[in-house]
Chain A
């Protein structure tokens, strides 16, 4: 059953239509990630949910009750800010205790709840320090603790791992889902790192120019994006794409691009004609051996990336392709000799040349 429901929410600032008619249903206990490039309206959307901003039109429902006009303090949501937004004149302990104090809870109970969450997030040793005395990682944990201490039914996290270094980010990627599961909280999480989104999310909503492009499981979004825009947002290096004319014979799909015939795969459901072909760098085979389906390429450079090796190669028609592979696989490639590429079976994506929608 859907727990939070967005019904054609819109928000503009002057002439700038930041959010344009969003619809979504979020389930109870779900880890829902809103992913989008900077400027896509993520933060504004989160502020609409928290009540800091009010939508121009549309309805936000929680458990079927419209909460559009409720003030932030009247909504059963909590939030962790990207810039932490800790109270500089209060110690970590008081920062965390703040949501409890708003609810007239006894001092003993406050104390035990603060200590419990601090223990869980491993900040029990810094409770007596002021925010400026905390490291970035500790600030981030304090801000998370504050948003979770009252066990809210919904917690909004605004890119909380953005401002911490890689080490803490990965620690938190492992720890955060565990902590949140324990609290059985519905999480709406903002990220502009697609890996973080895929790692954490039950479902991802891809926000682009104020609209949801896709709302789906991480794996589906990666493998079957609804449009080229989404496909480009997921994957590093970005998906290779080129305009081509597709033709099919009995057991081959052939793309003609700048006078070169490229054999893509064996079958596809799309019609013959012009389209954009997308192929992920890890779905291209690069080797020194020529096969029936492979094409000659010229080697340009290779660069290491995210524990993998990325090759930039150029087809004779001028088309550049990025191919990525593991370090072990890369050891077998002799870049001084002739190289050939072929496409892995059934991995090509086909997009409409004009609308950029996925054709399959």
Chain B
């Protein structure tokens, strides 16, 4: 890795500063050096004759660590080959991961090798050194000490790291008058304030969906992107399957489409103000006796049905509030959940410093305005991009006398700070972090920092004490007390497990919520004004993953848009405003204006549009800069998730919305391809069998298939799939799937081996969506095989349909003849010399899985059922002289899936889970009537609808 390290601090010599004699001398010296390069180094070096302990060349080692998202940790296990981390998987011991990942965790491995990461200290935009910064810091620290920290501001992200908390605490003690503020772009302030209103104190709330029979979501998105997606997804999926006691029913009232609303059994779209009214209606239904809610008739009917259901399931019902609601509504929901005895757990908040009140960015902006900020430390944040626009921090930060920005990227904030310090990637750092339930994990590095970077802990230590400390020592210091007598043993155990035992927060019980005071009903503003709901982006979250090409090219679950965001509108609303898909509109709110193209989706309330955050980066890197529209530019600090009165006008221009695939909505297509069964029928065993293609009549005798004792197969449960995309990125990481870039997407090309098809099976207005991950079907009668003229597409003796890359000449007949369209062609050398943007740079090559071929231009590729993993399991079994275990082989997509929707196994093993699933009454084969006999089959989506609501209103 040494060649990757940047020439930090190297001085450049001005031209023309040599005399002739000097130049000749230098030439001679340089020749002597280059000759010397052929000899051994002066220091003693050790030949690689005996292997270091544990390290077998080519055999991956796995380490537990944790990755942050919005400040909360998800435990992961990282595979490392010959010192290169290459793949991230979930840590089964970790409560926020449970062995699964999300798309962000999977993609972190690419960010590690991002060549656009910040590599050097910058001073006023010029490369400087750490030593120069330390020099510059001396007088600043002295001044701060003299003034007791007055005029000193520290801005961090959400702090859940015990070590960071300890350090910030110490920092605040060193500088008693210093101010600290935690800035997290996806924080929901109303949630905190709501808890204060209801309980008189801050309380953190976690829904327990695994115990919920009736779920009412009030614009909440528990299944959507965020640190709780994996846990919520797993818990939710538990009771979507008929054999786990009961099948839950989810009602969703959503202002804009979300994964939660998509999967709900019943949904209506309402303006956020009306959703607040719906909360009042629910509370009244439970005897709150509040004022009459101002709800339209159809919404009232919906809410009444939900109330009836919830009342009959007291103790197993739950109401979830979402970010577009006010603190009062959050408080009201606390009251409702208390009345219902809902499956909610309350915890002491973990993301603060108990002894210090956090400032806000608003305070910082005021101080900056008043010239009261002498020194500003910004660590791991990018407020110049993602702070609410009304604070105008991008301008105001310049007013600080001495500003230091530490981050993994030289981003927008780095551009306006006096100093920028490069931070190490999480996979290069020692640290610790808590999950949402407060379980702590040690973050251990998988690799030496690739560049001259330091960790957040080292940087804060430098600010606080002026000394260079190693984060390893700082970290061990934090935990020394917990470790007890045998600290080293405790430490090893903590590192090994990836989660520290008994650190989860104690539950708070006996909380008595107060009914909040409810204001009069707001009049929902009418056209021409539009309410815009802001959402974290399902692909790049809040913009921190902007420069990750995998995530940029990841199709958004509900629109399938890639490489950008757009103002999403319902078709009625668009029609009313005479807007078509791709029309660029000017969005004006609170005196600020942005431009965005329009994308038309189902599931928006009247007068509501939505926009995801994180795009429109100005300084993200080669991949992310300039992609999409910046929603933060419209954000108000007092209403961060909802822009009430936006004016939308056409600009007359239009641009293409890049989509990787279509949402399927024609009823006849949906009926053929995506069967849906009623939960009741499945439970009663009354569901008629679905098409599997196994019973098709044939004039031909059954063709004997070669058989070496294994028959690999996969079953995917659509009822469990929440469309989160973790599998897509997992597949990309595992199988060296290249990124093609926006131009190629525009041309209709993509490389994902696994795609998630979305079927719309509701009525025109209702976005009733189902998800169907589609990898290769590995058909027993594969249509791709007989058409290949060179036998590059062949069947192996274990039932895999394999593609022989070096035999492929690229006729593409196989993809033309594939009814599932799962094959992917390298029209250009996407991984072979014609990479998009900087993706061909050396550092990215370190991420490649050495067990998977990197495909050349002109060859076809596709899902292999992770054949390298099958091979690995076979080798392991042969070494140990045993058969491969029934469910021993897992594919990358299966490992990633938070809801365990994907199952892989050997049909020849009667104890394999796939065999049990293939006997399920919901089992079907996609396009089974074609006689392809696919090995990948599906379990049908389930809907548990309320019979009362399905009746026509009388």
**A and B associate:** no
